[in-house]
């Protein structure tokens, strides 16, 4: 995924995240953050 695509995915999950802020991070850092968000999202649904 491109950096822009990763940022778009992050914003879909974390609507308070700002693209300008996220753009300051490396693609690798953003990818790790997205993975973390996806894990938390899945765990949240498992608790329901």
Domain boundaries of the chain, sorted by first residue: 3-47
- Tens digit of each residue's pLDDT (9 = 90 or more) over 1-48: 999 999 999 999 999 999 999 999 999 999 999 999 998 866 666 655
**pLDDT at position 44, please?**
65
The reported pLDDT for the residue numbered 42 is: 66
Angle at 14 between CA 19 and CA 6, to 5 degrees: 55
Q: Cβ distance 9 to 32 under 8 Å?
A: no
> Can you give the pLDDT at residue 27?
98
């Amino acid at each position: 995924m491109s950096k822009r695509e990763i940022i778009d995915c992050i914003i879909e999950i974390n609507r308070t995240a700002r693209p300008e802020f996220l753009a300051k991070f490396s693609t690798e850092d953003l990818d790790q953050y997205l993975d973390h968000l996806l894990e938390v999202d899945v765990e949240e649904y498992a608790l329901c």
